[in-house]
Chain A
């Protein structure tokens, strides 16, 4: 157990639907990052939050949004889902970039 908890582990949903992925960072880590890994692609950065505020944004689609709550857990909302959104979504947390990221186990999203 890395200390970063992601739920659910697996999610199967239909096109056009909306889902919410949840991440609880490791205790003491203020930063949360979301990454997407699609088939045959590397980890693509989506968004970063630090202590409740958005800190950096990557190639995140407008249909996707995220937030970090006062207890530091984060949610990634994916709406109007398309087949191409099927991917493994990772959350990671860090206390400081010099110590590296701690990754959660990921949520595998399948859109059918």
Chain B
């Protein structure tokens, strides 16, 4: 059973704060690491797909890094806004899992105006 862990479970920040969260995954047989953004009452939406050690991806104020050798990824949000409030999920797939993703429990971010 693959273990994908995210920390913290929840986070409250003030508007304008920068924040980051962690995703830990098995470092052996790595294939890809995904980040999804899940707003309340909506469905998860893909943010990033990362496949190479050292990958860095950026979309607006959100960026992510990947370390496949030690099995972790960081998601950063610069200058958080209330609309960034959501649950951020990471998901891992290994080389022998086909296209099946194993999801972490998510980090719930709440940004106060």
Binding site for B on A (CB under 8 A): 2, 4, 31, 33, 35, 41-43, 45, 48, 50, 55-56, 58, 90, 94, 96-106
Contacts and interface: CB of A to CB of B under 8 A. Distances in A.
A33 B100 contact: yes
Interface string B13-48: 000000000000000000110101000001111100
Closest 7 CB pairs of A and B: A100-B46, A103-B43, A97-B99, A43-B103, A42-B105, A56-B100, A103-B44
Given A2-B43, A90-B43, A98 B51 contact: yes
B98 A55 contact: yes
Contacts of B31: 97
Where chain A touches its partner, the secondary structure class is mixed
A7 B49 CA distance: 28
Contacts of A2: 43, 45
Most buried by A among B97, B99, B103, B105: B99
Contact of B104 (A33, A42, A101): A42
Contacts of B34: 100-101
B102 interface: yes
